[in-house]
With several copies, the nearest count.
Chain A
């Protein structure tokens, strides 16, 4: 599925390079960057549209967490599946969704992934393996285990990745899901995106252990902690866990330490984080900047090439918004569509 990166051409000893540069082709590495930009620009674009009243409801932005979404999805193939969260735009794009249809969904249009019925909190693209964001914290955890059960029973070879937040780790669903995945040795990877807070409540105030991954021992599964803002580290942990799952050796819990730049949602007074803390993450630990710096350092791309990627992403975003705007609104007659597959 993957080859060796062109990084070889670089002076650096190949074997000393971080994981992804050994594991992936240049195109794949640049595509990962492109998607990370796409995630960020998508969310910035959505935020702008929201401010301008083009999108209603609420949304949860993952700006700052792009390496986690992207790194986890790098080792996955299209057939592999994910369950996502309320903060799920990044997962959706990383897994392969088209921002056109995502914008359309946010605009409530028929061309949206959910035909305008779901919005941000239920964004999904089943064709690329995303079984859906979830408005319920922890809601996706047992669902992912069920998807992994299908993979095992029907021998599809699929691996399921279950994204969830640090806040979700205190839900009963977390406990029940991880336990079942472990006793049945299911091909599922649990990915905790620990951004330090569940809404306003820090993990220190909500969670009786220092690291969510420390809880892996309670389910006899490996618990791995990575810097969630370093793409290669995330991808490597994901790679190992996915391989393990694919081999039939069961689940892994990966904890990506990361940070969200924005408030929890559109209604956050931000009384629980200091400006210093936010600035520190934005300035010194930005996942995109760090990845770009490596790509240049390792001679994989020039800054002109990176600029070109950013430009093309911007065009894709603009086109996506245009598509969404131009798409038709659902008709009121369709209110009851898809409550059932077969009407009774």
Chain B
């Protein structure tokens, strides 16, 4: 990777990836509500319409099910659509096309087609948008064979993984935490890819493994810093992909640290952390465990509007610190 590296934001990184993909392959089109002159609800497409025109940066009517279905049909027949949901919550309107059609078409047809489709889901809480605009629903799609589901946590990764997704012949679902859009980080210019199936160790440690997804990676890193000050060495793993899960990387870490905490924003019950925990509990790493596997997930509530309640509904740095400290010191 010799390309110059600049600091750009997560949303700029996405935009750059889309522009590169569109430039090199005319089959790549963008679809979504208000992604044209409006630039997208989160300004992710920005002014791409000026560069690529309305035929390739297509505003759809407010028709999530139909729009997703059009993207599926287009993908099966030769285009490579990148479909933006305005909020991941609206996936609830399109589950039929995502799950019953896109995810299964190749299998049901015995391999006769591929569905090279990318869908982008702005997700998560923290914007005061309340219960119907703040959900983290990646666990739903992570449960669906036929899909690949990723949660890039950095500008670098979102660009590289989006480029990998566009090149992938199968449907790839990208969950982007809205609070990450403005986060800046080093991003190489030009084309590069980041694999869709590999977790990344963000910080090495030996006392406890913290496996986190999306924005929680950054909270876990903050927590690790605090913990380091207290003499607790935490290893932080950015899961990056939730289907497939990179078992190898997580298992190796737990074998080293003997302790595991899963941190994720989605509702705790049946959220991504449940799978990580269960995967470890049935793996060879089980014998290395010195403590219960903790999960810090979203509360068992819808996301409330009030900002203090909203914060309380998802894991925060102090809770991660407390959990890790408790686990390492054997205080339960």
Which residues of A approach B to under 8 Å, CB–CB? 56-58, 81, 83, 108, 112-119, 121-122, 124, 126, 131-132, 134-139, 141-151, 153-154, 156, 167-168, 170-173, 175-177, 179-180, 183, 198-201, 205-207, 267-269, 271-272, 329-330, 332, 334-342, 344
Indicate whether A344 sits within 8 Å of B197 (C-beta atoms), given known contacts A112-B110, A154-B78: yes
| Residue B192 is within 8 A (CB to CB) of chain A in the complex | no
Given contacts A142-B97, A150-B77, 11 further A-B contacts (CB under 8 A): A113-B110, A117-B130, A132-B108, A135-B131, A135-B133, A141-B66, A145-B70, A146-B71, A200-B59, A272-B38, A339-B146
A201's closest neighbor in chain B, by CB?
B59
How far, in angstroms, from A147 to B73 measured CA to CA in the complex? Answer: 5
Indicate whether A145 sits within 8 Å of B107 (C-beta atoms), given known contacts A335-B304, A342-B170: no
Q: Mark B178-209, 1 if CB is under 8 A from A, else 0.
A: 00000000000000000011000000000000
Q: List 18 A-B contacts (CB under 8 A).
A: A108-B309, A117-B109, A118-B108, A118-B131, A121-B305, A134-B132, A139-B101, A146-B70, A146-B72, A146-B75, A147-B77, A150-B79, A176-B69, A179-B66, A180-B70, A330-B309, A340-B146, A340-B169
Stretch at the interface among B11-19, B28-36, B258-266: B28-36
* B133 contacts across to A, CB distance below 8 A: 121, 135
* B77 contacts across to A, CB distance below 8 A: 81, 131, 146-147, 150-151
How far, in angstroms, from A207 to B68 measured CA to CA in the complex? Answer: 17
* A338 contacts across to B, CB distance below 8 A: 106-107, 110-111
* B170 contacts across to A, CB distance below 8 A: 340-342
Query: Which of the residues B63, B73, B300 comes within 8 Å of A176, measured between beta carbons?
Result: B63
* B145 contacts across to A, CB distance below 8 A: 339
6 closest A-B pairs (Cβ-Cβ)?
A146-B73, A142-B69, A176-B66, A57-B128, A115-B110, A119-B305
Cβ B65 vs Cβ A108 within 8 A: no
How far, in angstroms, from A115 to B100 measured CA to CA in the complex? Answer: 19
Cβ B132 vs Cβ A136 within 8 A: yes
| Residue B168 is within 8 A (CB to CB) of chain A in the complex | yes
B21-52 residues with Cβ-Cβ distance < 8 A to A are: 27, 29, 33-34, 36-39, 41, 43
Cβ A173 vs Cβ B66 within 8 A: yes
| Residue B148 is within 8 A (CB to CB) of chain A in the complex | yes
How far, in angstroms, from A102 to B323 measured CA to CA in the complex? Answer: 39
| Residue B284 is within 8 A (CB to CB) of chain A in the complex | no
Number of A-B contacts (CB under 8 A): 278
Q: Mark B126-145, 1 if CB is under 8 A from A, else 0.
A: 01111111000000000001
| Residue B214 is within 8 A (CB to CB) of chain A in the complex | no
Which residues of B approach A to under 8 Å, CB–CB? 27, 29, 33-34, 36-39, 41, 43, 55, 59-79, 81, 89-90, 93, 96-97, 100-101, 105-114, 127-133, 145-146, 148, 168-170, 196-197, 241, 244, 299-302, 304-309, 312-313
How far, in angstroms, from A151 to B304 measured CA to CA in the complex? Answer: 31
Query: Which of the residues A134, A146, A173, A272 comes within 8 Å of B65, measured between beta carbons?
Result: A173
Q: Shortest CB–CB separation between residue A248 and chain B, in angstroms? A: 14
How far, in angstroms, from A150 to B81 measured CA to CA in the complex? Answer: 10
How far, in angstroms, from A238 to B89 measured CA to CA in the complex? Answer: 33
Cβ B304 vs Cβ A146 within 8 A: no
B86's closest neighbor in chain A, by CB?
A199
Q: Shortest CB–CB separation between residue A223 and chain B, in angstroms? A: 19
* B65 contacts across to A, CB distance below 8 A: 142, 172-173, 176
Indicate whether A145 sits within 8 Å of B305 (C-beta atoms), given known contacts A150-B77, A336-B299: no
Cβ B29 vs Cβ A116 within 8 A: no
B27's closest neighbor in chain A, by CB?
A154
Query: Which of the residues B60, B97, B197 comes within 8 Å of A180, measured between beta carbons?
Result: B60
Cβ A56 vs Cβ B309 within 8 A: no
* A170 contacts across to B, CB distance below 8 A: 61-63
Cβ B304 vs Cβ A124 within 8 A: no
A172's closest neighbor in chain B, by CB?
B65
Indicate whether A344 sits within 8 Å of B37 (C-beta atoms), given known contacts A126-B113, A146-B77, A150-B79: no
How far, in angstroms, from A114 to B107 measured CA to CA in the complex? Answer: 8
Q: Shortest CB–CB separation between residue A289 and chain B, in angstroms? A: 30
Interface centre among A144, A199, A268, A339 (most CB of B within 10 A): A339
Cβ A145 vs Cβ B73 within 8 A: yes
Cβ A335 vs Cβ B313 within 8 A: yes
How far, in angstroms, from A334 to B107 measured CA to CA in the complex? Answer: 11
* B93 contacts across to A, CB distance below 8 A: 136, 171-172
Cβ A122 vs Cβ B131 within 8 A: yes
Cβ A344 vs Cβ B196 within 8 A: yes
Q: Shortest CB–CB separation between residue A316 and chain B, in angstroms? A: 23
A108's closest neighbor in chain B, by CB?
B306
* A148 contacts across to B, CB distance below 8 A: 73
Cβ A118 vs Cβ B100 within 8 A: no
How far, in angstroms, from A139 to B130 measured CA to CA in the complex? Answer: 15
Interface centre among A114, A118, A141, A330 (most CB of B within 10 A): A118
How far, in angstroms, from A147 to B33 measured CA to CA in the complex? Answer: 20
How far, in angstroms, from A306 to B188 measured CA to CA in the complex? Answer: 63
A184's closest neighbor in chain B, by CB?
B58
Interface centre among B37, B70, B78 (most CB of A within 10 A): B70
Cβ B100 vs Cβ A136 within 8 A: yes
Cβ A201 vs Cβ B55 within 8 A: no
How far, in angstroms, from A144 to B244 measured CA to CA in the complex? Answer: 30
Cβ A142 vs Cβ B146 within 8 A: no
* A329 contacts across to B, CB distance below 8 A: 306, 308
* A138 contacts across to B, CB distance below 8 A: 62
Q: Shortest CB–CB separation between residue B61 and chain A, in angstroms? A: 4
Cβ B38 vs Cβ A269 within 8 A: yes
Cβ A136 vs Cβ B131 within 8 A: no
Q: Shortest CB–CB separation between residue A24 and chain B, in angstroms? A: 28
How far, in angstroms, from A108 to B311 measured CA to CA in the complex? Answer: 13
How far, in angstroms, from A199 to B97 measured CA to CA in the complex? Answer: 22
Query: Which of the residues A108, A139, A151 comes within 8 Å of B96, measured between beta carbons?
Result: A139
